[in-house]
Structure 1
Amino acid sequence: MPLSEGILAQLRKTYEPSAMVHQHYRGKDLAFKTDARGNPVLLFIGRLDEQGTVKGERYARTLTQDAAGNIIKDHWERKGKAS
């Protein structure tokens, strides 16, 4: 399943650096890890279970920037099931 524009809009924002962020979007639970700059780089979409783990799909981000910090490549790839 490709990521919707609404989810991508959430993932384009910057958050607390090196953190795990939990959010809800249209009935789905989202959990994502951020890098040292606060950019989301690992995403889990699905349902939150009793242990606080998201069961569903896992995505990884390829984010390449130049020396000035301009984004050269920004791509999300589905990596499979998250359990």
Structure 2
Amino acid sequence: MPLHHELDKKLSKIYEPRATINDVFKGYDITFRTNENGEPVVLFFGKRRPDGKIVGERFTRTIKRELGSLTVKHSHWDNQGKIMNA
């Protein structure tokens, strides 16, 4: 299942490198982590528990770059399944 186009647009932006960012998208809680270039690469999507963890789904991003540069040639998000941390 692909990500909602508005969420994909939000996750295509550049953020602070190696950061964890908490946000809300269309009534759902999201947390994403960025890589050394500030690109989101891990997404947690669902409802936040009182301890701050999210129960829902986890996605990871695969990024393919132009040869010899940091320019993104292609990227896609893969659903890694449900997360229900006890």
TM-score using structure 2 length: 0.90
Q: CA deviation at 1:65?
A: 1.3
Provide the alpha-carbon RMSD of the alignment.
1.0
Q: Where does structure 1 lack aligned partners over 5 or more consecutive residues?
A: none
Partner residue, 2:6: 6
Structure 1 position 47 matched with structure 2 position 53: no
Alignment of 1:1-83 (within 5 A): 1-66=1-66, 67-83=68-84
Percent of aligned positions with the same letter in both sequences?
35
Residue segments in structure 2 that go unaligned for 5+ positions in a row: none
> How far is 1:68 from its partner?
2.1
Q: How many aligned residue pairs are there?
A: 83
CA drift of 1:69 comes to: 1.8
Return structure 1 stretches of 4+ with deviation > 3 angstroms: none
How many Å separate the matches in 2 of 1:9 and 1:24? 14
